[in-house]
Amino acid sequence: MSKKLPLTLACGDYEIIRALKEGTVQPDGIELTVLTNMISSARQRGGL
């Protein structure tokens, strides 16, 4: 099995991404971290 690609998704806490956030839907080949508790200026800077 190939190593999963680590990927961070920073976005608002929207209904459409809830399954990804809760882990009920998992993308193939990706180790996904979902960040939703961020102020908008932090999301625009890439979470830094």
**pLDDT reading at 2 higher than 90:** no
What residue ranges do the domains of the chain occupy? 5-44
Contact 48, 42 (CB under 8 A): yes
8 Å CB contact between 36 and 11: yes
pLDDT tens for 6-45 read: 999 988 889 999 999 999 999 999 999 999 887 766 556 6
Rounded CA separation 3/1 (Å): 7
Structure token digits, residue 45:
């800077």
pLDDT above 60 (res 47): no
pLDDT score of 4 = 95
**Backbone φ and ψ of 44, nearest 5°:** -70, -25
Length of the chain: 48
Determine the pLDDT at residue 42. 59
- What does the angle CA 11 – CA 15 – CA 19 come to, to the nearest 5 degrees? 85
